[in-house]
Structure 1
Amino acid sequence: MRLWSVSATICPILFAAPALGAPSGTINDPIITSQAATGDPAAAAATAAPASREEVFSTGVAKGRDRLDSATSTSALREADIETLGARSLGDLLRNLPGIRTESSTGDGSSAYTVRGLPLASGGSKYMQLQEDGLPVLEFGDFFNGAVDIYIRADLNLAAVESIRGGSSSTFASNSPAGVINLISKTGDVAGGAVQVTAGLDYDTQRVDFEYGAPINDAWRFHVGGFYRQGEGPRDVGFTAFKGGQLKANLTRQFANGYVRLSGKYLDDRSPHYLPGPVRITGTNDNPSFGSFQGYDVRRDSMLSGNLGNLITLDANNNPAELPLRQGMSALVKSIGLESQFEVQGWTITQRGRYSDIKGGTTRNLVANIYSGSALPASLGGGAGTFSYATGPRAGQVITNLGAINGNGLIVASSLNRIQSRSLNNAINDLRATRVFPVGKAELTVTGGVYKSLQDYTSDWLYSNHLQDVADDGMSSLINFTNAAGVPQTQGGYLGFNRSGSTAFFRRDYDVRYNITAPYGSLNYRLGKVAVGGSLRYDSGRVRGKLYGADLGGGRIGIRPVDFNGNGVISVAESKTAFTPYDSPAPVDYDYNYVSYSVGVNYRVAEPFAVFARYSRGARAGADKLLFSNKVSTVDGSLVNKGDGYDVVKQLEGGFKYRASGITVNVTGFHADTEDTNVQAGAITTDRTYKAYGVEAEGGYRQGPFSVRAGVTYTHAELVNDKLNAAVAGKVPRRQPDFIFQVTPQFELEKVTVGANVIGTTNSWVQDNNLMKMPGYTLVSAFAQYRPTERVQLMLNVDNLFDKTAFIEITTPSVPANGIGLGRAANGRTISMSARLDF
């Protein structure tokens, strides 16, 4: 009963203030298209119509149909929304979808995504799938340090972003029980294009975007577009951290009964990976205070720095190497796809296939510990020895007062590492057939299909660790330490050429392939105002490969001395060099299978109003988080327990949808039970069950030149148990707020559009022990557009208009005695100006 009472409480909020709703042509707008004739979902995203008319939605369902006739929770961002929001990253864009919780302060990639209170124990997107044109970019969205959003970009190619939460996403896509977000490309339905140039006014970024598409004749059309950008970015790192671009193209051949489309993508881009840095934490656990240290602003600085030099370590072949720090999160993607849809003897047959050659990875600076320079532990020279700068403009200079360095007196022990994905290649195909049969006065929609996915995961984890100071403006440098006996304990600032201490922990090589086959089907019976439907999917997976690393145990050795500087003497740091033991692999050889199902009922009470209910059981297969764990035998590669190959998600949802001229309201109550096998930051293994319930509401309103759209989600989540840590049972999952919300009011005249995008959360526990809370936040971004002539537009976007400090993550579980904590905050204010020419 609590679920529905909360729903009743939230519904009036959408009408109570003009700051909650949606404009025409945006998130809740109906789409009138040629899809009924051609079945082309890209065309379905191209044209908007008044809010009282039919709205077709095609992602994660059997057949595109009006949202009010479907027992699902769906939303979309159209091209105009994407343009006005001016999001700096994909994570910033997707947080404007209702029910989606996004932690996006890591940069352009490696953001964390979840839906409706499902757990976010680690990075990436575990339960929700990110797709491009109806197929996943990666089969698993949360590969450790290889998250899916590293390999996808939003640019002028986008026609729309569609999302489905819960519902039939469990049965119409693999490994996506929480939902699907689909980025839909333009296909040249209407002749025209644009060139847009963007520059940062108070930060270093330059970017050019272009797109053009057109019908060639009555049968052929094409679209091509992309971007190129470079700059230091929104944080001071002391080097060009963003550099690269993307090119996408497609060619469509239209037939009387369908179409065939060939598409291609080339992405070669890099961006920095921002990780937690120093945070001042004072007060008490009941009343903590969070802020910045002198000489380090949590909104603008990073522990990345051009003074750190290259990452010195053994490469994947166990040879000494220097890997560029500026690689950051790098992506090289080459993909080709073939899509077709035809009407054959009453059946709509849809075929989507794509092969992607994907490699890249992330180079990052992972802070392990932060110390006061006046109170270092003995292992790092506390009370004795000599410190000096190892890199930067003061290299060789002795530091006479470590406790006052840079005005903050902080010293960081950190792991500089490269997670190199040699191959994330995949070949993915989805073939389905749908037919509508008349049954008396009713209609029965029958769908059957087969999904096939081959996914590589070959990755090398390369580490070294060092000492550095804490400085602003990208000026942090490495520090050398020589003990009281005159013996250097570091080499060029490096404590060792491993992750930490004297072990080979996390020096790994994964060489694994996933082979997934999933037949599925659905039935939907519609009689008058009532539609009842069910769908079923059977996922079977074969996982084969090898693992290498001392973490596997069994007497494997992973540490040896290496003379990096070639002076014939092994230093203390060189004696702690991790290597990959390729002579003793562990096999990976297991199969899994599971059944997903979803049943729902929708009642179209009246033309503008519908109610629905749905129950679903889906699952997410385990990927790399199962490996190097006690779930997989290191002897024969089998699963120790058969059920360990996947995590089950059970969801109940129900609500109503209302759409009339100028106004839309959608409200959904939900309840979810979730299993999660994962690895948190710091290599903490978890084996848990969660439950969550709440209400998701979105709405839109338009009156004359004024429009507004909004969403709010209330979630009550609980960590039911953890087989490895009984102490967290009954706690609220870390960083799970009670409310997340987004509001976008807009005022549009003939030549001028102005508006704001407001996003925020309430407070949440910083860690699963529930000792200290992280404050909630409200961030306001503003946009203005000026159209001096018909085809020219000038745009101003201000992200975090009021330059607020918004903490996204606090790693420190409670108020530390020395006031030194670790965490991440959203970027401070950044202002960009764009000029666009349409033709």
Structure 2
Amino acid sequence: MTITFMIVPGQAAWAQEQGGTTQAQTQEQGGTVQGQVTAAYGDPLWGVSVAAKGTKRSVQTDMKGNYTLTGLPPGEVTLDVRGEGFMSQSRKVTVSADAPAQANFALELDLLAVEEIVVTAQTPDRKVRSSTAISTLNEEEIKARMPRSTADLMRVVPGFYVESSGGEVGGNLFVRGLPADGSYRYVALMEDGMPVFDSTELFFVNNDIFVRVDETLERVEAVRGGTSALYGSNAPGGVVNFISKTGGDKLAGTIKASTATAGLYRFDANLNGPIGDDWRFSVGGFYRFDNGVRYPGFPASTGGQFKGSLLRNFNTDKVNGHVRATFKYLNDRNTFYLPLPLRGRFGGDGRLTGYDFVEGFPIDGTLTSPEGVNSQVPLPRGAGLLDLPLGNGQQQIGGSATAELRLYFPEGRWEVQDNLRVMQMNHSWNAMLPFELRDADAWARSVVGEGTPYRLTCVNAPGSPAFGSGECSTPNNLVNLGGQWLVNKPMSNVSNQLRFTKYGSLGATEHTLSGGLYLGYYTVGNSWYFNDIVTDVRSRPRFLELQVLDGSGNVVRNVTQNGFRRYLSNYTNGTGNATIAAAFLGDEVKIGEKFRIDLAGRVERNAYQQNVERTAAFDLGDPTTTADDNALFGTGKFQRVNVSLTDWALSGGVNYALSDTASVYARSSRGYKMPLLDQYLTATDPSDPAFPQTPEMLWQNEAGIKLGASWYALAAVAYWLQIENFPSQDARVDPVTGDTSFVTVYAGKARTLGLELEAAVQPIKWFRAQGMLTVQDPRYTEFNEGANDFSGNRIRRIPQVIGDVTGTFMYGNATLGINWNYVGHRFSNNANTVDLPGYSQFNVRAGYTYENFTLDLQLFNALNSIGLTEGNPRVDESIGAVPDIFLARPVLPRRLMLSLTARL
């Protein structure tokens, strides 16, 4: 259940909470206050809200920071002033009907937005008063980041380790050292308070496929730790809420055109504002064409999205609130980048000390090939030919619609909110996967037998010259034993959240009692077609043909056919659905002005149904090749799995205010993670050890401090967590037979000790620095994988140190930002025998604004780091055939981007 509280974003929301509007008031009878609002360093601030408490009078400052507030009752009036990115101020002013009163304000910077109203919480409140670890990014910070992908945007959040080396979608997010095999396993992604999908991950689905960052996005709120188990279904590690623009009181918008090296062209736009007094709208989206920083020989990314919303505010003596409808259509595809060939250098202890790409492979290369586009493979049982649309990459076609109703009744001080979301998406996953690198001659002889003549040729090269000569020549003389996989996954989701909130007092305490119900239903189809291929090792490789010859040089048989060494090495066909029902109840208690306690619990039941087609091996009958001798396909008979599981979460926290901009807090919680629906595709027998029997259980304890001042801000939290009954799962490929198997081990227990820091300073007007640091020790405490006991080992793929620092220089209308990102040493396997060294990247941004136009220049990975984000998870890395050669996925290479933005 998503426990969120939607407020109209921006200054309009705050003004409404004050009981006013943000439209400039006409001259009326009564007193007047006028003045100017500036930053502490003297610059005028426009768009800042100035509201008179207890009245319906508010106004926004103009371009020079000036305001005039009219129609005020004579006497003492309290003015509240709030501007995004600045500390709010309140001041009492004596108003007279005879002459305007003067009140000027100088606002201090709010460097970590400690005063921001956070809506992704049990009760909306200022971030500094929350007993939860929360990080926020406003619109300007998002634009300054100019992220290459949705995952890229989240690497500035402490406790989040992000792998975004796969391209624009399909990123991995690991939170607080929790063991995962990728994706967003313990983190829910939301749009406007509702999950983008009711499962945080599925096989071949990382939830960032549902979210794109464009000009329709207003801000991002990232909650991590204990309370996230209450906000999102099966998200005990964290919740990331992408909050869309709704439109303010004035017509506003942006048009943005971007281009970049390696053939990127992109257009973004948004228009939002009022329709009359009570209606607000927002429309926008993007379209992008990109050859790709690792050009595969065809466009790597094409497509875009359209988003729109319409909101109606109402305010009467009996009730106020809003109703809102949103719509999103997404039609996009992105090539998925996978591990690449590297040659390593190793120290005396066997640890990797250095590496580079193998001979002849460029830094911007890819093992995806245009020769795989629209390949065809034969299907058993007279099913004809199957097209493999490699050019589609990860493709999503579909959309979502959301309806939201929020009502507040002042007399009874209670509120009701209902959110309904409907989603349908056709997702396909197409990729060429590398499994193992072998010396070409050694591999061929291992297949045909020692002493047997053979010929290894390029399939599509003119005249099909022999491998190692002519157009088939490669400096490394390697072959890649890999796969070309097609996965089709149609998905749908209907979810509804109903929430009630009651505000009241009991003695000297103030209470916010909230409760609600969440219902969700989603369906997932699965059609998997895995095929084994062999190629050479170069950027955009060639498919290879291996032929057995007789003594006269005649072809006896083809080991491969058109580069395929086995058709349908794996086949999966299934349809499943899941029903979610959850209930929530919590109370936040305010004791005086400084002390707050919150306690909340949640109970959830998931019911799964999965229908899986049985498979059998078929000989397709082509006597000229062995590639079709053992194709797996469906028999037409299905097996059904029905499972229902129930679990609960409980979280309690305290917050003590040291001042208006500083607090300390602590929290303890128990959360859970239900199995994935797709796990019942590969484990259908309850007696199978891989069959999910119970949810995972997660305990977390944390304590932190939040500080804000005129020139610095700091948020720090120390945490301990322990997870039990988590699965460790891999898709493993036997390099000899090509068989693909999903291996699942329920590992027992793991724990993480960690410290998260987030800080910002602006000691002088023209320089600001922001940064985050995560230091953690993630370890398996009980983990047996077969005969191997990995207890005490570090959790694979998780660094102990993560850092991100940005320094921004500002002079007039010009800015220069330098960002440094660091990821520490990791192990790529559970045995901790294959290590990945730490790496860093530099990004540089320069911008200049003239009136309503901004020109931005961004240099990503300025020094062309080839830091490795993961080893090869698909084979046992301890059996590499060439000792110093391995597969790993590097970060994306350098790219220069230029953007021009016009603001209405």
Structure 1 residue corresponding to 2:729, chosen from 665, 679, 685: 679
1:98 and 2:188 equivalent? no
1:527 and 2:527 equivalent? no
**Counterpart code for 1:536:** G
1:337 and 2:402 equivalent? yes
SS in 2 for 1:95: helix
**Counterpart code for 1:283:** F
Kindly tell me: are residues 587 and 174 of structure 1, through their superposed partners in 2, closer, same or farther at Cα, counting changes over 3 Å?
same
2: CA distance between counterparts of 1:304 and 1:769? 30
Q: How far off is 1:254 after superposition? A: 0.6
Larger deviation, residues 265-274 vs 187-196: 187-196
SS in 2 for 1:83: helix
Q: Which residue of 1 aligns with 2:820?
A: 758
Q: Which residue of 2 aligns with 1:25?
A: none
Kindly tell me: are residues 709 and 479 of structure 1, through their superposed partners in 2, closer, same or farther at Cα, counting changes over 3 Å?
same
1:386 and 2:440 equivalent? no
1:321 and 2:386 equivalent? yes
Post-superposition CA distance 1:662-692 (Å, at most 9, x none): 3210100001111312412423312122110
Larger deviation, residues 539-548 vs 240-249: 539-548
Q: Is the 8 A contact 1:316 1:460 kept in 2?
A: no
Q: Is the 8 A contact 1:30 1:54 kept in 2?
A: no
SS in 2 for 1:184: strand
Q: Which residue of 1 aligns with 2:483?
A: 415
Q: Which residue of 2 aligns with 1:82?
A: 142
Q: Is the 8 A contact 1:227 1:245 kept in 2?
A: yes
Q: Which residue of 1 aligns with 2:101?
A: none
1:458 and 2:525 equivalent? yes
Q: Which residue of 2 aligns with 1:669?
A: 718
Structure 1 residue corresponding to 2:179, chosen from 101, 119, 122: 119
1: CA distance between counterparts of 2:293 and 2:136? 28
Q: Which residue of 2 aligns with 1:36?
A: 17
SS in 2 for 1:573: coil
Q: Is the 8 A contact 1:311 1:416 kept in 2?
A: no
Structure 1 residue corresponding to 2:265, chosen from 198, 202, 206: 206
**Counterpart code for 1:677:** P
Kindly tell me: are residues 286 and 430 of structure 1, through their superposed partners in 2, closer, same or farther at Cα, counting changes over 3 Å?
same
SS in 1 for 2:646: strand
Post-superposition CA distance 1:344-394 (Å, at most 9, x none): 231121211110011112101111221011321644346544344444444
Q: How far off is 1:81 after superposition? A: 1.1
**Counterpart code for 1:657:** K
Post-superposition CA distance 1:745-802 (Å, at most 9, x none): 1112332111022211111122111123211011110111122x31111111110011
Structure 1 residue corresponding to 2:226, chosen from 161, 167, 177: 167
SS in 2 for 1:650: strand
Q: Which residue of 2 aligns with 1:655?
A: 704
1: CA distance between counterparts of 2:136 and 2:721? 23
**Aligned residue pair count:** 780
1: CA distance between counterparts of 2:596 and 2:743? 46
Q: How far off is 1:281 after superposition? A: 2.0
SS in 1 for 2:17: helix
**Counterpart code for 2:192:** D
Q: Which residue of 1 aligns with 2:5?
A: none
Kindly tell me: are residues 392 and 34 of structure 1, through their superposed partners in 2, closer, same or farther at Cα, counting changes over 3 Å?
farther
Runs of at least 5 residues in structure 1 that lack an aligned partner in the other structure = 1-28, 500-505, 551-556
Kindly tell me: are residues 577 and 232 of structure 1, through their superposed partners in 2, closer, same or farther at Cα, counting changes over 3 Å?
same
Q: Is the 8 A contact 2:118 2:126 kept in 1?
A: no
Q: Is the 8 A contact 1:60 1:169 kept in 2?
A: no
1:774 and 2:842 equivalent? no
SS in 2 for 1:734: coil
1: CA distance between counterparts of 2:354 and 2:380? 43
1: CA distance between counterparts of 2:648 and 2:394? 36
Q: Which residue of 2 aligns with 1:594?
A: 647
Kindly tell me: are residues 240 and 326 of structure 1, through their superposed partners in 2, closer, same or farther at Cα, counting changes over 3 Å?
same
SS in 1 for 2:201: coil
1:132 and 2:186 equivalent? no
Note the 1:71-470 alignment, pairs <5 A: 71-120=131-180, 122-189=181-248, 190-200=250-260, 202-256=261-315, 257-284=320-347, 285-297=350-362, 299-313=363-377, 318-344=383-409, 345-376=412-443, 378-381=445-448, 384-394=452-462, 396-400=464-468, 405-421=473-489, 423-470=490-537
Q: Which residue of 1 aligns with 2:862?
A: 801
TM, length-normalised to structure 2: 0.82
SS in 1 for 2:148: coil
2: CA distance between counterparts of 1:767 and 1:723? 14
2: CA distance between counterparts of 1:39 and 1:353? 29
Post-superposition CA distance 1:151-201 (Å, at most 9, x none): 21111111011100013111122111001001110011142111111111x
TM, length-normalised to structure 1: 0.89
2: CA distance between counterparts of 1:138 and 1:283? 43
SS in 2 for 1:376: helix
Larger RCO (CA within 8 A; separation ≥ 6): 1
**Counterpart code for 2:758:** E
1: CA distance between counterparts of 2:245 and 2:652? 33
**Counterpart code for 1:141:** T
User: Sequence identity of aligned pairs in percent?
Assistant: 25
Structure 2 residue corresponding to 1:704, chosen from 765, 769, 784: 765
Kindly tell me: are residues 118 and 37 of structure 1, through their superposed partners in 2, closer, same or farther at Cα, counting changes over 3 Å?
farther
Kindly tell me: are residues 387 and 300 of structure 1, through their superposed partners in 2, closer, same or farther at Cα, counting changes over 3 Å?
farther
Kindly tell me: are residues 574 and 442 of structure 1, through their superposed partners in 2, closer, same or farther at Cα, counting changes over 3 Å?
same
1:612 and 2:673 equivalent? no
Bigger Rg, which one:
2
After the TM superposition, list the runs of 4 or more consecutive aligned residues in structure 1 that deviate by more than 6 angstroms: 29-32, 43-46, 639-643
Kindly tell me: are residues 611 and 314 of structure 1, through their superposed partners in 2, closer, same or farther at Cα, counting changes over 3 Å?
farther
Q: Which residue of 2 aligns with 1:837?
A: 902
The two structures, once aligned, show a CA RMSD in angstroms of: 2.7
**Counterpart code for 1:664:** A
Q: How far off is 1:483 after superposition? A: 1.1
Between structures 1 and 2, the one with greater strand share: 2
SS in 1 for 2:635: coil
Q: Is the 8 A contact 1:56 1:67 kept in 2?
A: yes
Q: How far off is 1:401 after superposition? A: 5.7
2: CA distance between counterparts of 1:35 and 1:144? 44
Structure 2 residue corresponding to 1:791, chosen from 841, 852, 858: 852
Kindly tell me: are residues 833 and 105 of structure 1, through their superposed partners in 2, closer, same or farther at Cα, counting changes over 3 Å?
same
Q: Which residue of 1 aligns with 2:86?
A: 49
Kindly tell me: are residues 531 and 35 of structure 1, through their superposed partners in 2, closer, same or farther at Cα, counting changes over 3 Å?
farther
